[in-house]
Amino acid sequence: MKHITEKANILTSADDVRTKALTLDYYTNENHPEIADGGEEWVCHISKDISKETGVLADATIEVINQLQKDINKPVLEYKTYCQFNTASSNPPFVHTDQYLLLKENHMKVDYIGNVYITPDDIATESTWFEFYEAKYLQENASMQHFLKLSSDKLTDIGIRTFAYNKALYFDTAVPHKNAPISTTPWGTDVSDSPLCFTVFMRTTTPEEVHARYVSP
């Protein structure tokens, strides 16, 4: 099975990260200044890349990266960090993979995602879970520059992971997944009362490894 792990209490200063995240500007696929929409509709509101920020956001990014490096015993070579949230009016989530971060200038190959839930229980108690799947009849494609949207007839359910405050969910980007609201506690209306995540996209493969994976000798 592809890599899927959890880590409780991942951030030393989760409250401070949330406070800072609430002050950020958020965008949709129609107006984001950095990320290309790839012809697909997003289902979230997302900040600009905050990986070059200083202070608490930088510290949190390093904490997420360090835990992954410990888990997989491999260095993270490139990363970008965003905060994102869903509202009750967002488009319905769909199952997809995230092998590429679609930047408007240069696409970034993504191998792992570390998603930290920074919504306190008194605001949105267990309001979100992640559903993971195994794709049938699916082959990787070196030229794929868009996240892959999958239909239900090509999927097998392999499990659900529920978020909790300051818990990180790590997964291999090749694992088909979607986030979904738990029906008894629907999503909110804005960043303050909706499921808010601190998300780090990480590359661990070298260009040579990518080339070897897709090019026949």
Check whether 213 has a pLDDT greater than 70.
no
Q: What is the pLDDT of residues 122-179, one digit of tens each?
A: 776 446 667 776 766 554 443 344 445 555 666 666 666 777 899 999 988 878 777 7
Q: What is the CATH number of the domain that holds 70?
A: 2.60.120.620
Q: What is the pTM of this model?
A: 0.83
Q: What is the pLDDT of residues 58-83, one digit of tens each?
A: 999 999 999 999 999 999 999 999 99
Strands, DSSP E only, in 9-150?
45-46, 78-85, 100-101, 108-109, 112-117, 128-135
Check whether 214 has a pLDDT greater than 50.
no
Q: Both tokens of residue 65?
A: 């990266």
CA dihedral 15, 52, 180, 12 (to 10 degrees): -30
Per DSSP, the three-state class of 169 is strand
Looking at the structure of the chain, the number of domains it has is: 1
In this prediction, residue 217 carries a pLDDT of 42
In this prediction, residue 141 carries a pLDDT of 46
Residue 42 in contact with residue 94, Cβ under 8 Å? no
CB neighbours of residue 186 within 10 Å: 12
Q: How far from chain centre, in Å, is Cα 30? A: 19
The mean pLDDT value for 23-29 works out to 92
**Phi and psi, residue 66, nearest 5°:** -60, -40
What domain range is 155 assigned to? 4-214
Length of the chain: 217
Residue 197 in contact with residue 84, Cβ under 8 Å? yes
How many whole angstroms separate alpha carbon 65 and alpha carbon 60? 9
- 149 vs 28, residue with greater confidence: 28
